[in-house]
Structure formats: C-alpha cells, structure tokens
C-alpha cells in the first residue's frame, strides 16, 4: 500500500482528506478508545462509521484492513519512516498513537511500561469479561436459564472492579497520570450502565471507581470521542 486511496477499503469508505489519519469504527467501548485518544492528542483524523453488521465488518473492503472483522482499525498515511500504516486492535492502536506523538504514555520507560501493563489488563480481562457479562445480562445470553455463566461473569467483573478500586486509592488516574490505560479502561466501566449490570456487580461498593469514571466522563475530549463516529438517529 502506497497511499490511503490505494487501499481496498477506500472504495467503500472513501477518504475526503487522504492526508490525515483514517479511523474506521463504531462507538462501542473498543471503538471509542481510538476516537477519544485522537481527540486527546489533537491529531487530525477522519472518522468513518463501520457498523457491526456483517454487511460492513465482513465486507471484502473491511476484511482487507482487518481480517478479524472487528472495529476499530486505522490507516495512518504518515506512519513510521513516512510510510502509510494500517493497524487493527484497539490496544495496539492506542500504544501506536501514544508512541507516535509522545503523549499519554508516561515520561520515562518505567512509566511507559506501567501504562502498557494496564492496557493489557483491560484487553485481557476487563474487556472480555465485561463483554460476556453484557451478553448474559442484556443480550441473547440473558435467556439462558443456567445460572453458572451469569455467576461466572458477574463474579469476575466484581474481581476486576476490586483490582481497580485498590489501584485508584489515592490516585485520580490508574497510573497516577492520565494515560492510555484510562482511555482503554473507562469506556468499559461506562458500558456496565448500558448493559444494565451495575446492580449485579454491586457498583456502589466501588467508590474510587465511581469517582474515577465521573472524572473521565467530564473531560471534553472524552465527550467528543464518545460520539465519534456519529451514528445516524
């Protein structure tokens, strides 16, 4: 790939300004991580709405960018060594954008790896476990009468919330300073309300987490990122 316009995805989601980063996403917890990050670091970008329907994420054009048929994905026309870079997986994109701009990834090597550590915590734990909790609370899994999967994901969500509750004691942000760790994690905390799962996990038992999410949602860049790409009414 030599330019954004050469990529197959451009035939379906055409770039209006191929000179800026192209974001292909939907405002799910994983999707908004990247839009929030881009707003926070002030990097020019163009957002394309890719719905979760098979017609979009399993289209040949999108699969050419992400063979795993999941949002988000990006094309940066100004990638390493001045060459275009296509990238999928929200955690990888956050790390890439942080290293590209030198923002929100700490000021020392130790701080960098601490932030990445907590991004991995979200990617391996919070996202998958909360996502399954949502499936068994709000979506098709809610019809399953067997209580074991419900209990499994409720208990794991509680455990993960307890880890965060302890980490946030005396801190405004997960690593002390606002970073990609927060951008990765907080959208999934917000999702518990959408899933109708707050009562099931005992949300009020985590005052540090509650206050943390309020701080996160109060950030202007977060409010823009949560609505990007825009979904038609």
Contact of 106 with 175, CB cutoff 8 Å:
yes
Statement: the pTM of the whole predicted model exceeds 0.75 = yes
180 pLDDT above the threshold of 90: yes
pLDDT at 17: 97
Confidence of residue 141 (pLDDT cuts 50, 70, 90): confident
1 pLDDT above the threshold of 80: no
Residues 115, 229, 186, 160, Cα dihedral to 10°:
-90
How much is the average pLDDT of 171-195?
Answer: 98
Domain boundaries, the chain: 4-103, 109-219
pLDDT at 2: 61
pLDDT at 144: 87
23 pLDDT above the threshold of 80: yes
Spatial separation of the C-alpha atoms in residues 181 and 98, rounded to whole Å: 11
Contact of 95 with 88, CB cutoff 8 Å:
no
Confidence of residue 142 (pLDDT cuts 50, 70, 90): confident
CATH fold of the domain at 4-103: Glutaredoxin (3.40.30)
Architecture of domain 109-219: Up-down Bundle (1.20)
Q: Cβ atoms within 10 A of the Cβ of 110, count?
A: 9
How much is the average pLDDT of 52-78?
Answer: 98
35 pLDDT above the threshold of 60: yes
204 pLDDT above the threshold of 90: yes
Q: At what angle do helices 180-195 and 207-217 cross, to 10 degrees?
A: 110
pLDDT in tens, 113-132: 999 999 999 999 999 999 99
pLDDT in tens, 67-82: 999 999 999 999 998 9
31 pLDDT above the threshold of 90: yes
pLDDT at 42: 98
């Amino acid at each position: 790939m030599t330019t954004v316009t050469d990529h197959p995805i451009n035939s379906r989601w055409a770039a209006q300004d191929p000179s800026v980063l192209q974001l292909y996403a939907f405002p799910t917890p994983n999707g908004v991580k990247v839009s929030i990050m881009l707003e926070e670091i002030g990097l020019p970008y163009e957002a394309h709405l890719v719905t979760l329907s098979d017609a979009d994420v399993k289209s040949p054009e999108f699969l050419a960018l992400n063979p795993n048929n999941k949002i988000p994905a990006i094309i940066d026309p100004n990638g390493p060594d001045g060459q275009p870079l296509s990238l999928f997986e929200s955690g990888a994109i956050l790390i890439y954008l942080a290293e590209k701009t030198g923002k929100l990834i700490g000021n020392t090597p130790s701080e960098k790896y601490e932030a990445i550590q907590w991004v991995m915590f979200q990617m391996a734990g919070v996202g998958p476990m909360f996502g399954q909790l949502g499936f068994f609370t709000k979506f098709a899994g809610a019809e399953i009468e067997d209580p074991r999967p419900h209990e499994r994901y409720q208990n794991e969500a509680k455990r993960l919330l307890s880890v965060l509750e302890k980490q946030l004691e005396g801190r405004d942000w997960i690593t002390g300073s606002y970073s990609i760790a927060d951008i990765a994690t907080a959208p999934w905390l917000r999702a518990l309300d959408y899933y109708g799962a707050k009562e099931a996990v005992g949300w009020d038992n985590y005052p540090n987490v509650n206050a943390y999410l309020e701080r996160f949602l109060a950030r202007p860049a977060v409010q823009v990122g949560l609505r990007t790409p825009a979904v038609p009414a």
